[in-house]
């Protein structure tokens, strides 16, 4: 017999030691596991969804119709083309204005990121990424690399992003991959064309790889691809979860020159391909993008303006980055002496789902709340009413 993590006596079962140390997703107050918490958020249909950077602004449009048609036609009886439908490959390349590149369709950018780390990294290699950032990328890299450097970027000096200067300071002879999350989850910072060119130079000079995660690209005012300047040294990570609003059907891609994508095909797990319904939705999404993209971008932008106007009137909190080039932003709470976790727990009781910093930072997790805003404006207004009251209730006198 032994004692489990809930202090209960249970029969001891012998299992191999855990292969990778996975950072524990801590459940919020009142939930036994993180999964129970996410299940609660899913079941609670009244919840205002600002805790995941998903997009709730699509109406019944071509994406929705294409997936319904696919189900009606029972296409799901068959396996799809295992590397993705060629039409989808072509549409993605057209969307990015890239030529002479290969595409592999994955079950989301998350899978694409794992495939890249698995196919590129050797045990002696190092990886450079940043904190705050999308931590699972580093966790995947840790499975295959010697070391992952999380460069601290939560400060004005570097404009809250991993700059070419910071990369040069942290690079060494074992560096194999630089991860650029652009726009950055959680802060919404993005890169100028000059910065992108400089990253491309660094990759070519050192013969190393850029993993350019462009999951939030379409929310940005302007966006540039390292694949244009360092095509042989870039793997571009693409997602259908955000601007296309398809997070739940799990589809994404990775784009690169043919030999790099061939290497990725060597390490796939999803050998029988990705959900047919999702692929049909993705094809429709790419084809119909000009019809809906302005509405989604403009509404998101107006929503973040409303949040900014509200924050400006609340003492001791501030937005480190405004405007954000993604569909989320960070609210710094340190001046009010409020821990981010206390704020997110408080708001959850008001049926507003937000994210405390520790989901995207090991170093600054208490400092900030992340809120996403590609949701209906009426819901943003509810948040704007509740947040100032939350600060007054929780602030350290
Ligand atoms: C930077 C970044 N990359 C990838 C993902 C995951 O995307 P997907 O849903 O396509 O797996 C996220 C999700 O939040 C993200 O923030």
Q: Is 106 in the pocket of ligand 1 (CB under 6 A)?
A: no
CB atoms near residue 98 (< 10 Å): 18
Query: Which has the closest alpha carbon to 231: 90, 93, 100, 96?
Result: 100
Q: In this predicted structure, what is the pLDDT of residue 69?
A: 98
For ligand 1, the distance from its centroid to the CA atom of residue 157, given in whole angstroms, is 27
Q: Is 108 in the pocket of ligand 1 (CB under 6 A)?
A: yes
Q: What atom in ligand 1 is closest to the CA of residue 247?
A: 9
What is 85-148 written as a DSSP string?
-HHHHHHHHHHHT--S-EEEEESSHHHHHHHHHHHH--TT-EEEEEESS-HHHHHHHHHHSSEE
Q: In this predicted structure, what is the pLDDT of residue 9?
A: 81
Residue the block writes with tokens 């064309």: 193
Model confidence at 17, in pLDDT bands (50, 70, 90)? confident
Q: Is 358 in the pocket of ligand 1 (CB under 6 A)?
A: no
Domains of the chain: 16-58+292-394 (3.90.1150.10), 62-289 (3.40.640.10)
Q: What atom in ligand 1 is closest to the CA of residue 53?
A: 14
Residue 385 has pLDDT above 80, yes or no: yes
Dmax (CA) for the chain in angstroms is: 62
Q: Crossing angle for the helix pair 377-394 and 340-349, nearest 10 degrees?
A: 120
Render pLDDT for 326-335 as a digit per residue (tens, 0 to 9).
Answer: 999 999 999 9
Phi, psi of 80 (to 5 degrees): -80, 175
Average pLDDT for the chain: 95
Render pLDDT for 71-121 as a digit per residue (tens, 0 to 9).
Answer: 999 999 999 999 999 999 999 999 999 999 999 999 999 999 999 999 999
């Amino acid at each position: 017999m032994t004692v489990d993590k809930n202090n209960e006596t249970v029969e001891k079962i012998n299992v191999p030691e855990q292969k990778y140390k996975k950072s524990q997703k801590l459940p919020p107050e009142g939930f036994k596991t993180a999964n129970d918490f996410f299940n609660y958020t899913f079941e609670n249909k009244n919840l205002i969804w600002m805790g995941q950077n998903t997009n709730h602004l699509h109406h019944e449009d071509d994406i929705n119709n294409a997936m319904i048609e696919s189900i009606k036609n029972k296409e799901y009886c068959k396996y799809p083309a295992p590397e993705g439908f060629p039409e989808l490959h072509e549409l993605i390349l057209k969307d990015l204005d890239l030529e002479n590149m290969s595409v592999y369709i994955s079950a989301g950018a998350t899978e694409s990121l794992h495939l890249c780390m698995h196919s590129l990294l050797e045990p002696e290699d190092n990886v450079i990424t940043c904190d705050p950032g999308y931590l699972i990328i580093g966790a995947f890299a840790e499975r295959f690399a010697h070391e992952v450097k999380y460069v601290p970027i939560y400060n004005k000096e570097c404009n809250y992003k991993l700059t070419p200067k910071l990369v040069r300071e942290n690079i060494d002879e074992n560096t194999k991959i630089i991860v650029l999350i652009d726009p950055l989850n959680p802060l919404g910072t993005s890169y100028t064309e000059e910065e992108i060119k400089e990253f491309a130079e660094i990759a070519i000079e050192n013969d190393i790889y850029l993993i350019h995660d462009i999951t939030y690209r379409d929310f940005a005012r302007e966006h540039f691809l390292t694949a244009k300047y360092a095509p042989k040294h870039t793997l571009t990570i693409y997602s259908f979860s955000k601007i296309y609003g398809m997070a739940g059907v799990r589809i994404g891609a990775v784009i690169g020159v043919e030999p790099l994508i061939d290497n990725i095909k060597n390490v796939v797990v999803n050998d029988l391909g990705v959900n047919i319904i999702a692929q049909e939705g993705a094809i429709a999404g790419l084809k119909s993008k000009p019809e809906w993209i302005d509405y989604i971008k403009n509404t998101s932008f107006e929503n973040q303006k409303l949040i900014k106007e509200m924050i400006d009137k609340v003492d001791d909190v501030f937005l480190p980055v405004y405007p954000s080039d993604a569909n989320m932003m960070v609210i710094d709470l340190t001046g009010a002496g409020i821990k981010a976790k206390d704020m997110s727990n408080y708001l959850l009781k008001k049926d507003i789902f937000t994210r405390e910093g520790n989901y995207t930072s090991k170093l600054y997790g208490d400092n900030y709340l992340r809120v996403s805003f590609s949701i209906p404006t009426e819901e943003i207004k509810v948040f704007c009413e509740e947040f100032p009251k939350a600060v007054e209730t929780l602030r350290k006198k």
